[in-house]
Structure 1
Amino acid sequence: MDLNNSLTRLDDLKTLPLSDQAFKAFSSILIDHLDRATLRREHGSERQCITLTAEAQKRWYEQQRIISDCMKQDTALSHYEDFIARYMEHASRIAAVMQVFMAPNSTLITEETLNAAFYITQWYLNHFIAKTDETREPSDAEKLLDWLESHLESNGSYNFRTNYIIKYGPRAVRHSERLEPAINQLEREGKLKRFTQDGIGYVGFIGAKMTPEELAERLNIPFSSRGVFILNNSPK
C-alpha cells in the first residue's frame, strides 16, 4: 500500500447495508466490552493488552517506513503532516478495536485485521485531504507551477526568464524573497532547472504536463522545424 501512488479513491468505496439486527449485535458486543472493563477497574485487575502477531508486526513496520517517507519535506503529502504523523496510531487503535470485536477473547491482532485497519485509516486520510484542499491556500510553489503551465504557449518555450516571472508571474512571487524559495522547492522536486545564458538567468520548466510535441502543434511550428524545436525544448 503505497500512499504516494495508490491512495484509495473515496468514490471507489462501497457501503454495505446494515440491518437492525447487525446494530443490535454491535451494541451487545460493545456493552459486553465496557462491562468487562468496568469489572477490571473495580477489582484492580490487570488491563487487557492487545498486541500484534509476528506477521502483523512485520506489516506494521513496512507501513511505518512508507508513512515516514510520506512525511519528508516537499513530498505530495507533506501538506497533511498533522494527520499523517498520527496515521500509525489511528490504524493501530482501529485494528485493536476490530480484533476484539471479531474475537473477544483474543489479544493478538492478525495481519488481515491490520491491513483492514490500514484501509480504513487511508479512507479517513483521503477524506481529510479532500476537506483540506477545499480551503487550503495553494503554496507559492504551486502557484508558480500552475502559472508556468498556463503560460507555456504565450512564452513559446519551456525556458522562462527569471526577471520575466518577477514582472509578470503570480502576484505572490513577484518579489525575489518569495520567488527564490518557490523555485528552490520546484527544483528539488525535479520540475525546474536553473541556468544562465548570455548573462541572463532562466528557469527551464522540465516538469510540464504539456509535451514539446503538443507545444509545437499549438505554436503552429512547421513540420520541417519541429525536430529542432522539440530537441531544444526537451528536458535536459
Structure 2
Amino acid sequence: MSGNREFPIRMLPAIVGNAIYEVVQHTQAPLPMVVAEMLGVISLACQNRIDVCRLNNLRGPTSLFIVTIAESGERKSTVSKLLMKPIYQMEERLFEQYKQELINWQYNVKIFKAEEKALMSKLKSDIRCGKDPTMARECLKILQDSYPVEPVRYKLTFNDTTPAAIKEYLCGEWRSVGIISDEAGTVFNGYTLNELPFVNKMWDGSIYSVERKNAPEILIKNARLTLSLQVQPVVINRYIERKGDVAKGIGFFARTLICHPFSTQGYRQITNPVVSSEHLPVFHERLMEIVNESIINKDERICLHFSPEAGQRWVAFYNKVETEMRLIGFLSDFKDYASKVAENMARIAALLHYFNGNEGDISLTAVEAAVEISAWYVEEYIKLFSKPQELDLINTDANELYWWMKEYCSQNFVPYIRKNTILQYGPNRFRERNKTNELLSTLYSQGKISTYKKGKTLFIQPMDSLAVI
C-alpha cells in the first residue's frame, strides 16, 4: 500500500490539483484514490481529441488503464459521481436525442423502402414490356445514394458489459469509450475482462478484426478505450488468484496504473464544515469543453509532440527505466511493467499538457509531472506484486522497527513517537526516509500502528499502547 508516501500532487496543473483538493475536502477520501479517478476522467475526455508522438514520431493513444484498490466505505462512489457528473448528464441528454433521431431515421427508412419497391416494380415493368429501362435505373441509382444516414449513438461509458458488446459499439461511428466503475466487482467477476488480448489491443490503439455470423468482417480502427476501475481488495485478490498469471503473462497489469491507497477511515474528522466549492466547476467546464470538441471533430485527433527539452527528459526517463531492468536493477523482477512505463508516462504528460489548455508541444513541466506520477505508480506496482520472499524480508524489518518503537515509548513514558525521531534515533539501517515509509506502511496495513498528523509532523503509536492515552 502507499502508506505515508505522498502522491506528488504538487506537480499537477492548478486546474487539476485544486479540483482534487476540493474533492478530498468534501469527501475525505484517500487522495491517491481521488487522483486516480481524476486521471481516468481526463483520459476519457481527451482520448478522442489527442494522440501523443514519442521518439521517431511513434504515434500512440493517450488512453489510460487505471485500477484503484480500496475497501468498502472509502467513498469510491461519491468521488466518482462528483468528478463524472457532467459526463453522465451529457450521456442522458445525448441518449434522449438519439432516441428521437432513431425514430425519425426508422420513419425515413420506411419511406426509402417504399420508394425503392415502387422503382423496382417500374424497372421490372419496363423490362417486361420491352420499354427502355434507363430512366428507372437512373432513378433507382439516385435513390440508393440517398439512403437515410443512421444516427450516431454517442455513448461515452460502459459499466458492466461484454467484450462482444464493446466490439459491436466500436465498429460504429463513435469509437471512444470508457469502462468506468466505482464498484468493479462486476467487471472483474463478470465478462468485461474475459478477452484481455482484445483489451490490450485497444490500449495499444491497434487494428482489431471482428468476425460476425452472416455478416462481413469489420475492422475496429483508431478506437480508444479508457479503463477506470475501483475495486475492493477481496475482489482483486480473488481475480489475481484465478487469472492473475494470465493477466500478468499477456501484459494487462503491465499496462495498468494500479495502486492501493492508504485508508482514511477512522481519521475523517470534521474540523472545518466550510469548504471551497469554486474549483470543481472550473474543472468540469474544461472537461466538457474537450468532450464537446471530441464529438464535433470525432474523426480528427491532434497529435502532440514533445518540445526539445521535454523530449530529452523523456529519453532520460526511458533510459533510466531500461537500466533498472538489468539483473541487479530496481525493476529486474518487473520487466513486464517496466516495458510500458515510459509510454504511460508520455500519455500522462500529453493529457496534463492538453487538459491545462497549453498550446503547442508538450512542455517540460508536464513531463516532469508525468515522471513523478509514473514513479509513484511504479512503487505501488512493486509493492503489490513483489515476490513472497521480498515481502517476508519487509515483514521482518517491520517487526524489528515495531518492537524498537514499543521500547522507545515504554522507556520515555509516551504513547507515541514522531516519525522524525525514527529517522534520527532509530536502527541505523532504517534511517532512510523511503525505507521508513515502507515499513510504517506495512505495519499500518497489519493493524500494528495508528498514525496522526499534526501540521507537518507525523505521530506513530503502537496499537497495544492505546490504553496509555
Q: Report the TM-score, using the length of structure 1 for normalisation.
A: 0.48
Query: Of Structure 1 and Structure 2, which has the larger fraction of its residues in strand?
Result: 2
Query: Of Structure 1 and Structure 2, which has the larger fraction of its residues in helix?
Result: 1
